[in-house]
Homo-oligomer: A and B are copies of this chain.
Amino acid sequence: MHKIAVLPGDGIGPEVMEQAVRVLDSIAEKYSQTFEYSFSEVGGIAIDKFSTPLPEKTLKICEDSDAILFGSVGGPKWENLPPEKQPERGALLPLRKHFKLFANLRPIKVFKPLSQACSLKEEFFEEGIDIAIFRELTGGIYFGEPKYVSEDGTHAVDTMKYSKDEVIRIAKLAFEAARIRGKKVMSVDKANVLMSSVLWRKVVTKLRDEQYPDIELSHMYVDNAAMQLVRNPSQFDVILTGNMFGDILSDEAAMLTGSLGMLPSASLNEEGFGLYEPIGGTAPDIAGQNIANPTAQILSAALMLRYSFGMDEAATDIECAIEKTLAEGYRTGDIFYGKDSEKRVSTTEFADAILEKL
C-alpha cells in the first residue's frame, strides 16, 4: 500500500488533481496496488482557512505519507502578502527544507504533435527538445546564512554556499539519469566568477572521472547556457546545476516548449520520498471551467510512481497513454490550434481519453 498526501491547492489545481487521481485509481487496479489518498489544504486556500500557506495539519499528513502529490498554488488574491507568507514560496520552500528534497528533476520535452507551440522557429530545434534538468534544491543562495536586510535598511546580504557532499548527491542523480538517456551531462555554473562554482565544477569533474567514465561531461557558464537554450536546445541531454541557476534555466527551457500544461516535476530526498508537481501555475483565469490541461498533473503522478514507488512500468504506461491521446488529436484549449486533425475537449474528456488507453 502506498500512502499519498494529495494537496490540490488553488486555481486549476483541484480539477486537474481530480483527473490525476482517476488515473492513479486505474493504475492501482491494473497493477493490483492500493493507493491511500489523504487530501489536505496548501497555498492560498490554506491561507484563507488557516492563515498560513502550510498548516501543521497538512505537514503532518505529508509526514505520514510515502509521497506528496502537489497541485499548484497562488493567485492574485494573495499576491500582495509579504513573500514568506505567499502561497508558492510559503509552502514550497518549507516543504523542500523539511523533507530535505535536495533534487529537483524537470523533464523538458517538446511533444512532437505540439511542436507548433514552441517559441522557437522550427530550424532551431530540428532535432527536438528532450532535456532532463537536475537542479539542486535545498542549498546554494536559497538557504545559505547569513541572510538579512540590515536593521537600518541600508544594505542586505545573501549567502551562496555549497558543500562537496551537496554537490555529489545531486550530481550522482544526474549521471545516473544520463546513463539511461543520451549519456551526456552538461554542468552549468559560473566558475569564472563564483567560488561555489569553482568547487562545483571540481567536484562534478572528479565524480565523473572516478565513477562515471562512460558519461560525457561538459561545463558551461550560466549566461552561455541561457543563450544556448534559445539557439540550440537540441544539444542538451542532462543539465546539472545549482538552485538559483536551475530556477532560471528550467523556467526558460519550459517556457520555450510553449506547453507549460504538459510538464511535470519531481523533488526528491535521499530516501526516495518526493513531492511531485506540475510546473505551470494555477491559471486562475480558467479555473473551475473544466477546460484546463490535466497532463502535467497526470505526468507528475507518473513520476511519483517511478521515483517514489518503484513502479516504472506503470509510469511508462501513463506516459504512453498520453502520447497516444495527443497523437489521436485530443486537445485541451491551451494546446488547440484549430487544425483538422485536432479535437478540442474538456479537462475530463482529455482524461477520459487517457484512461481508455490504460
A interface residues, Cβ below 8 angstroms from B? 83, 86, 88-89, 93, 118-121, 124, 141-142, 144, 147-149, 153-165, 190-196, 198-200, 202, 222-224, 226-231, 244-245, 247-252, 254-256, 258
Cβ B202 vs Cβ A226 within 8 A:
no
Closest to A155 in B: B163
Cβ A88 vs Cβ B230 within 8 A:
no
| Contact of A251 (CB < 8 Å), options: B160, B164, B224, B256 | B224
| Contact of A195 (CB < 8 Å), options: B156, B164, B245 | B156
Among A86, A198, A245, residue most surrounded by chain B Cβ atoms (within 10 Å): A198
Among A89, A160, A249, residue most surrounded by chain B Cβ atoms (within 10 Å): A160
| Contact of A155 (CB < 8 Å), options: B161, B193, B226 | B161
Cβ A163 vs Cβ B153 within 8 A:
no
Q: Which residues of B contact A229 (CB under 8 A)?
A: 252
Distance between A344 CB and nearest chain B CB, rounded to angstroms? 20
Cβ B155 vs Cβ A162 within 8 A:
yes
Distance between A65 CB and nearest chain B CB, rounded to angstroms? 26
The 8 A-B residue pairs with the shortest CB-CB distance, nearest first, are A156-B199, A227-B255, A226-B252, A223-B251, A155-B163, A89-B192, A83-B192, A158-B160
Assess A154 versus B158: contact at CB under 8 Å? Given A83-B198, A193-B93, A227-B254: no
Cβ B119 vs Cβ A230 within 8 A:
yes
| Contact of A196 (CB < 8 Å), options: B158, B224, B248, B251 | B158
Distance between A166 CB and nearest chain B CB, rounded to angstroms? 8
Q: Which residues of B contact A147 (CB under 8 A)?
A: 194-195
Assembled-state Cα–Cα distance A327/B47 (Å): 57
Q: Which residues of B contact A149 (CB under 8 A)?
A: 195, 198-199
Distance between A87 CB and nearest chain B CB, rounded to angstroms? 11
What are 29 A-to-B residue pairs whose CB atoms are below 8 Å? A83-B191, A119-B119, A119-B121, A119-B230, A121-B121, A141-B193, A147-B194, A149-B195, A153-B164, A153-B199, A154-B163, A154-B164, A155-B161, A155-B162, A156-B162, A156-B195, A157-B161, A157-B195, A158-B194, A158-B196, A222-B248, A223-B248, A223-B251, A226-B251, A227-B254, A227-B255, A229-B252, A230-B255, A252-B252
